[in-house]
Amino acid sequence: MSLRDQAGRSAGAQEESQIDLTPMLDVVFIMLIFFIVTSSFVKEPGVEIDKPGAGTTEACPNGTIIFAVDNQGKIHYNKNEIKLERANFFAKAAKDETPRANIVIQADEESPAYVVEQLFDTLRSTFSAPPCVSTLDE
């Protein structure tokens, strides 16, 4: 037997002993796509709220559209400060995107009550169901 034949055999043996990882990578990518598609993401209002505790609460099923009122009376939606007059526009746009979602108003312990009330009245006049008012630390 020549050296060329022996070299050919050892190279063929090395190729046969290697593991093909392509099917495993395909499965991993399919699983990744599945988890990304089936997961739901929570949109945060973008401001730190110190919420007071509440004695009774109700769960808001079907997703949420979150507005926040900070301790200075500023209204926040989707990590941006907004004016009261624009709250209806953002709520309608979010409701068009997810029609069954509930509107949640998160209020800081020291936020002015009149701002929360004005926001509540503005959003309530637009939708048939009143907004949920969230006061619990989650």
- Mean per-residue pLDDT for 119-123? 88
Question: pLDDT at residue 114 above 60?
Answer: yes
Per-residue DSSP letter, 131: P
Q: Judge whether residue 49 has pLDDT over 90.
A: no
132-134/102-107 β-pairing: parallel
Q: Average pLDDT for residues 106-135, to the nearest whole number? A: 77
C-alpha to C-alpha distance for 30 and 72, rounded to whole angstroms: 47
DSSP state of 82: E
Per-residue pLDDT, averaged over 10-21, amounts to 70
Q: Which residues contact 92 (CB under 8 A, 6 or more apart)?
A: 126
pTM for the full model? 0.54
What phi and psi, each to the nearest 5 degrees, are found at residue 93?
-65, -40
For residues 41-52, give the mean pLDDT: 66
Q: Regarding beta strands 132-134 and 64-69, do their DSSP bridges make them parallel or antiparallel, or are they unpaired?
A: unpaired
Extended strands (E) in the chain: 64-69, 75-77, 80-82, 102-107, 132-134
Q: Is the pLDDT of residue 138 over 50?
A: no
